[in-house]
Structure 1
């Protein structure tokens, strides 16, 4: 088949590798000059020289919040470094090594912006492209499309009362690059996810004061430097201060929203049959296959996952469907979605749409289900064991390292 892949980030490269290995003709369209997606650091924020939004959300000093042993492509382990929690440049080097090892670069069309994707008869696709250098518009047809544009590039910033009258600086973590602008400042960091905790710790080294706001208990308190002030969520801003949910008032000069990202597919026409409801991308069978037009797949939508492993099995699942190994009707696909969402509802997940793609400790069952449904090889159980160990035993302690022994066992290095 002739398959188009949108995006040359970690997910797009996994898609390209498996498509080529199964004998398909494959082209990847990447709007920047480089592979790596969000792992490609840039000092720039806002828009690039072509007027397109900067994709990367990387910042100086970032270290992974998962050990590298959980961030490996199938059959391609890291050869270095020895430690497990690695920096952004080390992840990017691994991605670049992977692309070279599987000779992926010749199949990538750089500086090519996907402007429109629309369905054609017979389950085929029309893709409208813009060559960013020549400004030439191109239209091509494909048998299948894999959407791999990531989910960490369009920042979500909640509209909080008074924020428009606040006189200090306000950014989203998507535009944070280094702590320099916060030297001597009183900084409010909103959101205690991995990026919020990480950025608060980095900025604390130069700021006069750092307040980290959160909605619920912070499970990784040990990673927060002593001295960072922990407060509940803000409810209103004044010109030079913020009122917090506990009634306290804090004077602040700068605000950094670490409030996550929005799923966005501006290139998909309405007749693609995809809509986004509070970050629930509807409707996708097994979070991959577009139910209305099942020759379109989405890679990398689940959150709280070990990503590179996930990308690989999702791609293999989609390709197995294209081969005809998954005998299922569109009605049965929709029924399966209802069942999966009902399971989430039983766990009391509210609002449900916001957690539609949440997996966490359930991702092992999810990936086993993909493999069984599509009659493909399962991922080694060692990944699932290590993920559970990291999140329930060591709770993300980044001073530890690990070594994969075989498909079932790992060893921890350090205490």
Structure 2
């Protein structure tokens, strides 16, 4: 089975690997415009006609493929706002997509617009070399640390099955208060001018370890949204103006779409796209086209792209059958409504998913989700490690299609690999580095109380 993969980035490379795992024949292309349409006999064969150009020979040809994997992601086209007076500004204007390093920004006065991860990282870096850096934000943001308790990675400490279960049991408001208190212990967001009106769970998190330090030093200053440009500066909505600005950098995100694909197959409006599991167009009569990596997960993207690709390749082969069209549309509408209720409105929050919930959902379709109840009987040590430990992708290689014999050992040694780079100075005594923090103790205590309640109340 021949599969065309469009896009050779992180998701594209992952898709190639999954195709090879399933015995398919992948060919990967970089994106151009107006290349992907259904073959004339699509409703019977499910095949696609791909128009490609050999740049070395300057020759164009059409090739028919059995399936298509679109891996261009959601960081496609730069989102550039247009403020009044911007065309008269004599300084440099660019998007963070075109920013590579701090060379050339020495002793400049720089305004960075946008307080997402790109904006925060760029502002922090530039504040080390620029004479003054400003970070402009409409709404502020809650700021997480990459390095959390005891200097351990945030995701490995909190992206756990026990954490997700507790969140569902005790509810969003309580989780939000706990998370806010945790962040405010690091620094008071009100004092630093960062505190937004919305809650922590209503926004894609900003992760930045250095932002409060740079703000405290004065080399980085927060400003409200831009009102208009002047010839040599920027006026803000609070009535202040900063003159002699050399550079304005827009870290204002991206607008994604699939211009090489006919809108009758997939249509994107203001970063909103209707796909089953953010992968499959529900109206296709033959599921031989998928989108990989066009999702905003609260966690690492590459494992998500791999899981999407594992599912897609098995759908192409006929090993997995997707539900009827009506059920797929029902799932799409339910996810859209849940996202609308949770997140503040904007093009930034149109393809959000919870990492563990989404991964488990895909794994259930593939039939590679770990059966923890059965595992508790046969391998209790592993079951406890999967439930209370970091939810790393090794768990989806324990059983089912794609099972890997080394996954159990990998789960038990994942902390060794995570911390190995820090072992440049050996100690002459042993320390417990399993990441078993006070939060773990709290989680276990809550579960124990709930179990005890059910045993006593329901006499189970």
Which of 253, 264, 267 aligns to 1:260? It is: 253
CA–CA distance in 1 between the matches of 2:343 and 2:319?
Answer: 36
CA–CA distance in 2 between the matches of 1:161 and 1:327?
Answer: 49
Aligned position for 1:53? none
Whether contact under 8 Å (1:211, 1:231) holds in the other structure is yes
Number of aligned residues: 312
Q: Give the drift of 1:215.
A: 2.5
Whether contact under 8 Å (1:114, 1:130) holds in the other structure is no
Local SS of the residue matching 1:126: strand
CA–CA distance in 2 between the matches of 1:311 and 1:348?
Answer: 23
Aligned position for 2:25? 25
CA–CA distance in 1 between the matches of 2:125 and 2:22?
Answer: 44
* Residue 115 to residue 231, structure 1, CA distance change in 2 (3 Å): same
Whether contact under 8 Å (1:150, 1:300) holds in the other structure is yes
Alignment of 1:4-403 (within 5 A): 4-30=4-30, 115-120=34-39, 121=42, 122=44, 123-220=46-143, 222-224=209-211, 225=214, 226-227=217-218, 228-251=220-243, 252-271=245-264, 273-281=265-273, 283-293=274-284, 294-304=287-297, 305-322=299-316, 323-351=318-346, 354-359=348-353, 362-377=354-369, 383-384=390-391
Local SS of the residue matching 1:197: helix
CA–CA distance in 2 between the matches of 1:164 and 1:407?
Answer: 57
CA–CA distance in 2 between the matches of 1:215 and 1:229?
Answer: 14
Aligned position for 2:411? 406
* Residue 6 to residue 378, structure 1, CA distance change in 2 (3 Å): farther
Q: Give the drift of 1:270.
A: 3.0
* Residue 157 to residue 366, structure 1, CA distance change in 2 (3 Å): same
Local SS of the residue matching 1:280: coil
TM-score by length of 2: 0.63
Q: Give the drift of 1:9.
A: 1.4
Higher fraction of strand = 1
CA–CA distance in 1 between the matches of 2:359 and 2:124?
Answer: 34
Whether contact under 8 Å (2:7, 2:71) holds in the other structure is yes
CA–CA distance in 2 between the matches of 1:246 and 1:385?
Answer: 45
Query: Which whole-Å deviations, capped at 9, do the CAs of 1:27-80 have from their partners, x for residues lacking one?
Result: 11136xxxxxxxxxxxxxxxxxxxxxxxxxxxxxxxxxxxxxxxxxxxxxxxxx
Whether contact under 8 Å (1:278, 1:354) holds in the other structure is no
Higher fraction of helix = 2
CA–CA distance in 1 between the matches of 2:117 and 2:76?
Answer: 16
Local SS of the residue matching 1:270: coil
Local SS of the residue matching 2:268: strand
Aligned position for 2:453? none
Whether contact under 8 Å (2:360, 2:369) holds in the other structure is no
Whether contact under 8 Å (2:137, 2:224) holds in the other structure is yes
Coordinate RMSD, CA, aligned = 2.6
Local SS of the residue matching 1:127: strand
Whether contact under 8 Å (1:154, 1:262) holds in the other structure is yes
The structure with more radius of gyration: 2
Local SS of the residue matching 2:255: coil
Whether contact under 8 Å (1:29, 1:114) holds in the other structure is no
Local SS of the residue matching 1:336: helix
Whether contact under 8 Å (1:191, 1:259) holds in the other structure is yes
* Residue 279 to residue 186, structure 1, CA distance change in 2 (3 Å): same
Query: Which whole-Å deviations, capped at 9, do the CAs of 1:71-115 have from their partners, x for residues lacking one?
Result: xxxxxxxxxxxxxxxxxxxxxxxxxxxxxxxxxxxxxxxxxx574
CA–CA distance in 2 between the matches of 1:243 and 1:299?
Answer: 41
* Structure 1 segments unaligned to the other structure (5+ residues): 32-112, 387-403
Whether contact under 8 Å (1:286, 1:337) holds in the other structure is yes
